[in-house]
Each structure stands twice: as C-alpha cells, then as structure tokens.
Amino acid sequence: MQEYARTERVGTELQRELAKVLRDEIKDPRLQAITLQEVRVSRDLAHAKIYFTCFPNDEGGDEQARLLNGSLVGFLRRTLARRVRLRTVPQLRFIHDESIPRGEHLTSLIEETMTKVERGTAIR
C-alpha cells in the first residue's frame, strides 16, 4: 500500500511543478489554455502520463500533445529535475484528456432524449 501512496505523491508533485512551468516559463500561445487534469506515475517511477485539457472550448488538443511530446518534453523534464527531489525524473508523456467533451456530448444526448420523452415523441 505504501508504494501506491508514493506514486500518488510523486504524481501530485509533478503536476504542481509542471503547472507552474507551463504557466510561468512557456510563452507559446498555443499552450496557454492548458489545464493539467492528472499525472499518473508508474510504480517504478520511470514513466509519467500527464492528462490535460484545453479550456475554454477544448480545441487543438492533438496539436498541443504533439508540441508537448515533441520539442518541449526535454525542456520540461530538465526543468522538473531542478525543481523536484527525485533520483531520476520520469519520462513524460502528455495525453489530451477527452473525457470532458465526451461527458458534455453524453449529457446533451440524455437531455435531448428526456425532452423527447416529455413530449411523448420518444423512440419506442
């Protein structure tokens, strides 16, 4: 159980520091609207998956993931190495989290169906 708690603590610390770096040091306007949702660190602390969304309308996630996983990943990892107290900083992999737009879509489908049911025009 202690191993699980450590990966969570490391993930939380990485998320906090990455958010600061993205906010304060990255000046690319394509990355200004990023919000880090979650950081999942492997048990051996060798890899970290960083899930992010793009507010307000969550567009351009694939382009932002390419930027983050391409030219910026080395800079971000080096910056983290200076900021966090870990023997080695995990390999970083940024993943666009599509759960928010997917949830909004499902909500709209449910609302549409409920409206049809209330009017008596639901499909039987």
Domains of the chain, first to last: 2-98 (3.30.300.20)
- pLDDT number for residue 59: 67
Residues of the chain short of pLDDT 50, as ranges, are none
- pLDDT number for residue 56: 63
> What letter represents residue 72's amino acid?
L
CA distance 94 to 39: 9
- pLDDT number for residue 55: 72
- pLDDT number for residue 8: 93
- pLDDT number for residue 123: 57
Q: How far is the CA of 53 from the CAs of 23, 59, 84, 99, 118, in angstroms?
A: 14, 9, 24, 9, 34
- pLDDT number for residue 41: 95
- pLDDT number for residue 119: 80
- pLDDT number for residue 4: 65
Burial class of residue 14 in the structure, from the number of CB atoms within 10 Å of its CB (0-12 exposed, 13-18 middle, 19+ buried): buried
Residue 79 C-alpha from the chain's centroid: 18
- pLDDT number for residue 74: 93
Q: Do 95 and 51 form a contact (C-beta atoms < 8 A)? A: yes
